[in-house]
C-alpha cells in the first residue's frame, strides 16, 4: 500500500524530472556564457550531492536485496550499467558523508565536489578518525579556496601530522605500485600504461612538460609564419597529446645519446613539516 510520504516523493521526483527534461531539451547556446555555465556546474554538483545522500538511504534500508543482488553497488551497476568500481564509489561516498557533515553541507551547496570528498575520505582510518572529525571544517575550507592539486597537498600535510606512521607506510605502498609497460600491436602501434610514485612521477612529468612546452612554442611560431597572424590552438600542427608523445620520444632519444659522463639532475625529494614549524622558519629567514 502506498503511503502519503511515498506519494509526495513520487510527485516531487516527477516534477523534478519534468524540469530536468525541459532543461536538457533547451538550446545549449542559451547557457554558453561563463556565469550560466558555472551555475550549471554548481547545479550538477548539488544534484550529485543529493543522489549521494539518497544512495546512503538506499543502502541503509536494503530494498536492493529484493532484486537478488548481493550489495547495493551491484544493484547500481546492474540497473545503470555503470562500472562496478564507480557504483561502489557512490555507495562508499554516501556512507562517508553520513559521518562528515561539513563535507556533506559544502557538497550540497556546490562549494566543493565529489573529488574533494573522495580525497578527504581516503584520509579516514581508525588512527585519524578523531582528528578528522575535529579538523573536518579546516579541510573543507581548504577545498573551497585552493585549486585541486594544492588542496591534495594540504590533505597530505594534514595526514603527515595526524598519522605519521601511516603516511610512511602509504609512501612505501605507493612506490611498490610503480609499473610501466609498453607493448606493440598487430599494426605496429605501441600501447602502454604508466604508474609512478610521487617523486618519480614529478621527475618524469616535469621534464615531459618542459619538452612539450618547447614543442608548443615551435608549433606556434610555425603556424604564425604560415598564417601571417597569431594562430589559435586549432591552427597548430600538433595536438597537446601528440606533443607529449613527441616529447617522450625526445626524452628517450636524449637518454640514448647522452654523454657517457653526463651529469644527472639534482635529486628530488619531499619534506613534510607542520605549519607552525614552517611559519617559524620562514619568519627566521625573513629576519635574517
Beta-carbon contacts of 91 under 8 Å, excluding residues fewer than 6 positions away, are 55, 56, 59, 71, 72, 73, 76
Residue 4's pLDDT is: 44
User: Average pLDDT, stretch 43-67?
Assistant: 91
17-21, 75-79, 169-173, 250-254, range with the lowest pLDDT: 169-173
Residue 169's pLDDT is: 62
Nearest CA to 204 among 214, 213, 194? Answer: 194
Q: Does position 268 have pLDDT exceeding 60, yes or no? A: no
- 3-state secondary structure (DSSP) of residue 68: coil
Residue 10's pLDDT is: 57
Beta-carbon contacts of 258 under 8 Å, excluding residues fewer than 6 positions away, are none
Q: Give the long-range contacts of residues 14-19, CB within 8 A, separation 24 or more.
A: none
d(CA 251, CA 249): 5
Angle, helix 34-61 to helix 72-80, in steps of 10 degrees? 130
- Burial class, 269, CB count within 10 angstroms (exposed 0-12 / middle 13-18 / buried 19+): exposed
Cell numbers placing 12: 516531487
Nearest CA to 176 among 199, 204, 201, 197? Answer: 197
Contact (CB, 8 A) for 223 and 237: yes
Alpha helices per DSSP H over 62-184: 72-80, 84-97, 101-108, 114-122, 129-145, 148-162, 164-176
97-101, 147-151, 170-174, range with the lowest pLDDT: 170-174
pLDDT tens for each residue of 102-124? 999 999 999 999 999 999 999 99
Q: Does position 212 have pLDDT exceeding 60, yes or no? A: yes
User: Which of 144-148, 173-177, 284-288 tops mean pLDDT?
Assistant: 144-148
Reported confidence tier of residue 3, pLDDT bands at 50, 70, 90: very low
d(CA 74, CA 167): 32
d(CA 224, CA 147): 33
User: Which of 62-71, 171-180, 257-266 tops mean pLDDT?
Assistant: 62-71
Residue 189's pLDDT is: 92
pLDDT tens for each residue of 175-184? 788 899 889 8
Q: Does position 127 have pLDDT exceeding 80, yes or no? A: yes
Q: Give the long-range contacts of residues 276-280, CB within 8 A, separation 24 or more.
A: none
What element of type H or E holds 110? none
Q: Give strand ranges (E) for 189-247.
A: 190-195
Contact (CB, 8 A) for 203 and 268: yes
Q: Does position 267 have pLDDT exceeding 80, yes or no? A: no
What element of type H or E holds 181? strand 179-184
Q: Does position 281 have pLDDT exceeding 60, yes or no? A: no
Reported confidence tier of residue 141, pLDDT bands at 50, 70, 90: very high
Residue found under cell 613527441: 246
29-33, 70-74, 106-110, 274-278, range with the lowest pLDDT: 274-278
Angle, helix 148-162 to helix 114-122, in steps of 10 degrees? 20
d(CA 65, CA 264): 59
Q: Does position 74 have pLDDT exceeding 80, yes or no? A: yes
Q: Does position 278 have pLDDT exceeding 60, yes or no? A: no
User: What residues form DSSP beta bridges with 194?
Assistant: 180
Reported confidence tier of residue 68, pLDDT bands at 50, 70, 90: confident
Length of the chain in terms of residues written: 288
Q: Does position 276 have pLDDT exceeding 80, yes or no? A: no
Amino acid at each position: 500500500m502506498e503511503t502519503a510520504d511515498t506519494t509526495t516523493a513520487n510527485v516531487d521526483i516527477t516534477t523534478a524530472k519534468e524540469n530536468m527534461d525541459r532543461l536538457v531539451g533547451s538550446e545549449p547556446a542559451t547557457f554558453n556564457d561563463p556565469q550560466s555555465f558555472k551555475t550549471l556546474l554548481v547545479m550538477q554538483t548539488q544534484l550529485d550531492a543529493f543522489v549521494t545522500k539518497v544512495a546512503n538511504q538506499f543502502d541503509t534500508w536494503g530494498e536492493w536485496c529484493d532484486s537478488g543482488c548481493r550489495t547495493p553497488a551491484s544493484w547500481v551497476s546492474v540497473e545503470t550499467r555503470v562500472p562496478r568500481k564507480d557504483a561502489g564509489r557512490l555507495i562508499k561516498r554516501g556512507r562517508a558523508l553520513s559521518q562528515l557533515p561539513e563535507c556533506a553541507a559544502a557538497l550540497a551547496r556546490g562549494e566543493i565536489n565529489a573529488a574533494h570528498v573522495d580525497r578527504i575520505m581516503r584520509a579516514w582510518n581508525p588512527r585519524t578518525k578523531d582528528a578528522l572529525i575535529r579538523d573536518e571544517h579546516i579541510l573543507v575550507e581548504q577545498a573551497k579556496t585552493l585549486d585541486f592539486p594544492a588542496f591534495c597537498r594540504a590533505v597530505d600535510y594534514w595526514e603527515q601530522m595526524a598519522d605519521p606512521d601511516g603516511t610512511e607506510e602509504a609512501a612505501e605502498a605507493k612506490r611498490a605500485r610503480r609499473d610501466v609497460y609498453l607493448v606493440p600491436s598487430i599494426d605496429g602501434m605501441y600501447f602502454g600504461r604508466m604508474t609512478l610514485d610521487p617523486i618519480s612521477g614529478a621527475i618524469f612529468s616535469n621534464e615531459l612538460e618542459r619538452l612539450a612546452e618547447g614543442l608548443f612554442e615551435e608549433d606556434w611560431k610555425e603556424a604564425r609564419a604560415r598564417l601571417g597572424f597569431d594562430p589559435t590552438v586549432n591552427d597548430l600542427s600538433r595536438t597537446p597529446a601528440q606533443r607529449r608523445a613527441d616529447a617522450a620520444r625526445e626524452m628517450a632519444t636524449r637518454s640514448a645519446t647522452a654523454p657517457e659522463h653526463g651529469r644527472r639532475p639534482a635529486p628530488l625529494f619531499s619534506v613534510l613539516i607542520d605549519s607552525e614549524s614552517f611559519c617559524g622558519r620562514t619568519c627566521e629567514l625573513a629576519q635574517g
